[in-house]
């Protein structure tokens, strides 16, 4: 009977891990971000049409491009109208950018270059995709530390910088404030608690049904801008027979490792033992 029960438990865990990861990935790709994406794409098409003189889909950068400009004033995480649930992009200090859909999946990547527009005798920041195509552009208003970006000729969409580039301290939050709380993605939920003295704990519950779930327990320390569990994480399968009884807990392993990182307002769980959540993006419960 013990052998049979363990086999059933293992089968349930396999179903949970394979099904939930796929559901999260498929649903993320079906998020309704059409309005935001269309707006940005239309601006990119307009700017590409004005910047190229041929029918090619790529843009040859002008000779007036400044390659050695400092992009620290732009560096950070930018969200449409300052809404942390909207589409966004991240600019690094060396002028690289990554654009994200509202669901957190990557839309495009490329570089930012400061370009002189001879028609208006002023500099523009042009965002080029890795392919060389112009993605979007915005004016250089002379501000050293920008907090607002107005795209295109009509100033929409409007992006607001919510998080700086230099880690959590750059926006005034410490890790105990930024990480702690409940984070959700589909049927998976992460509760992160701060115990003081740099010690954190994460509990991950991934439901299979109303009475069963897989559960991970991670003791964590904050190091190099991430929460780290190094080899002492536990995964179990928890099953309730009824509402009044204590659950049955079957421990699967006790040597798990994981990292938790933040990008803006999104949490990423890197399961270093099984990679259970590679396609998952967690949002904080408010």
Residue 213 tokens read as 């779930």
Main-chain dihedrals φ then ψ at residue 168, nearest 5 degrees = -65, -35
Q: What is the pLDDT of residue 20?
A: 43
19 within some domain:
no
Calpha distance 49→54 (Å, rounded): 9
Residues 178, 154 share a domain: no
Residue ending a domain, among 123, 150, 166, is: 166
Beta pairing class for 181-185 and 76-80: unpaired
74 Cβ partners below 8 Å, 6+ apart? 91, 95, 112, 125, 146
Q: Which is nearest to 110 in space by CA: 73, 59, 170?
A: 59
Domain boundary at 107, 131, 166, which? 166
> Is the domain of 110 the same as that of 181?
no
Distances (CA, A) of 277 to 21, 48, 58, 187, 206: 6, 37, 36, 12, 11
Q: What is the pLDDT of residue 53?
A: 33
In a domain, 2, yes or no: no
Q: Are residues 106 and 219 in the same domain?
A: no
pLDDT digits (tens, 9 = 90+) for 28-72: 443 333 333 333 333 334 433 333 333 333 334 444 555 556 788
Do strands 158-164 and 181-185 pair parallel, antiparallel, or not at all (unpaired)? unpaired
Question: What pLDDT does residue 8 have?
Answer: 43
What are the Cα distances from residue 29, in Å, to 26, 188, 200?
5, 17, 32
Residues 162 and 181 in one domain: no
Whether 10 is covered by a domain: the verdict is no
Domain match, 150 and 182 both: no
Phi/psi-derived region of residue 20, left when phi > 0, alpha when psi is between -120 and 50, beta in every other case: alpha
Task: List residues bridging with 158 in a β-sheet.
Answer: 150
User: How far is residue 123 from each of residues 79, 139, 141, 143, 244, measured CA to CA in Å?
Assistant: 23, 7, 8, 12, 69
Domain count, the chain: 2
9: in domain: no
User: Which residues form the domain of 160?
Assistant: 34-166
Peptide bond into 143 cis (omega under 30): no
Is 132 inside any structural domain? yes
In eight-state DSSP terms, residue 147 is -
Residues of the chain with pLDDT under 50: 1-9, 11, 14-15, 18-63, 169
Q: What is the pLDDT of residue 268?
A: 94
Residue 188 inside a domain? The answer is: yes
User: First CA to last CA across the chain, in angstroms?
Assistant: 45
pLDDT in tens, 252-264: 999 999 999 988 7
Residues 187 and 121 in one domain: no
Closest CA to 41 of 191, 150, 151: 151
Question: What kind and span of H or E run contains 42?
Answer: helix 34-51
For residues 132 and 96, membership in a common domain is answered with yes
Read off the pLDDT of residues 132-154 as tens digits, 9 standing for 90 and up.
Answer: 999 998 988 877 778 889 887 67
Here the tokens at position 187 are: 């049927």
- Let me know whether 134 and 160 are in one domain: yes
């Amino acid at each position: 009977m013990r052998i049979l029960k363990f086999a059933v438990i293992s089968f349930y865990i396999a179903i949970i891990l394979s099904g939930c990861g796929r559901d999260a990935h498929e649903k993320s790709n079906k998020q309704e971000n059409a309005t935001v994406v269309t707006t940005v794409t239309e601006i990119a098409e307009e700017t590409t049409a004005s910047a190229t003189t041929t029918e090619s889909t790529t843009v040859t950068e002008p000779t007036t491009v400044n390659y050695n400009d400092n992009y620290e004033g732009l560096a950070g995480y930018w969200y449409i109208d300052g809404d942390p649930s909207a589409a966004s992009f991240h600019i690094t200090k060396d002028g690289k950018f990554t654009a994200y859909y509202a669901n957190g999946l990557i839309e495009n990547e490329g570089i930012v270059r400061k370009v002189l527009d001879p028609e208006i005798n002023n500099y523009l920041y042009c965002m080029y995709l890795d392919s060389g195509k112009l993605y979007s552009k915005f004016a250089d208003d002379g501000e050293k530390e920008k907090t607002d970006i107005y795209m295109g000729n009509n100033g929409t969409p409007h992006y607001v910088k919510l998080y700086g580039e230099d880690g959590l301290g750059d926006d005034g939050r410490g890790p105990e404030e930024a990480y702690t709380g409940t984070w959700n993605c589909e049927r998976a939920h992460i509760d992160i608690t701060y115990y003081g003295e740099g010690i954190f704990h994460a509990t991950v519950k991934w439901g299979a049904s109303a009475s069963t779930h897989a559960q991970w327990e991670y003791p964590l320390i904050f190091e190099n801008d991430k929460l780290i569990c190094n080899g002492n994480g536990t995964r179990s399968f928890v099953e309730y027979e009824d509402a009044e009884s204590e659950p049955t807990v079957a421990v699967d392993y006790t040597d798990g490792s994981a990292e938790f990182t933040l990008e803006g307002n999104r949490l990423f769980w890197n399961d270093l033992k099984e990679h259970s959540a590679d396609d998952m993006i967690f949002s904080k419960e408010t």
